[in-house]
Amino acid sequence: MNENLASLIRQANNRLTAKETEKQMAVSRQDQDLRDREATKFRRGVELALSDEVLEAIGPVTFTKQLVENSMTFEQDGRRFKIQQVTDMLVQLDDVDRPNLGRKVGHQFNLKNGDTKDLFLKFLGLMLNDKGSV
């Protein structure tokens, strides 16, 4: 193969590699944008559903961003609790130090429901009193 053809092949391969890298970077940016949007949606959902009053009472809270599994953690009475996103605005409250207290699933509730704050406080009260069921 002559040097001219070899050079053209290398250039073509370089362009294809660059294009593939560009595509992968674009997909990564889109994924990151989606994670950011979902995390923001989750955080706003929690803040609206529970209210500043509740968040201040249980605070400080820490939000963790992870696609479709965003979470908020906090401590009460020396125990760590987590509100974990299950799907969209369906969340689960778990005692991190005492997982599920014998239940197969933690207390679940939808952040979009009007009684979310009351359900959260009821479930948290039960968990703090070491009661495993509602």
Q: Give the pLDDT score at 129.
A: 86
Please give the pLDDT value at position 97.
77
Chunked in runs of 10, what are the mean pLDDT values of the chain (134 residues)? 90 94 93 89 94 93 85 92 91 81 72 93 88 47
* pTM exceeds cut of 0.85: no
Instruction: Give dist(CA 5, CA 112) in Å, integer.
Output: 63
**What pLDDT is attached to residue 106?**
74
Domain boundaries, the chain: 3-128
Q: What is the pLDDT of residue 31?
A: 87
DSSP letter at 130 equals T
Q: What is the predicted pLDDT for the residue at 101?
A: 54
Beta strands in 2-133 (DSSP E): 62-64, 71-76, 79-87, 90-95, 107-110
Identify the bridge partners of residue 73 per DSSP, sorted by sequence position. 62, 82
pLDDT value of residue 87 = 87
Looking at this protein, which amino acid is placed at residue 12? A
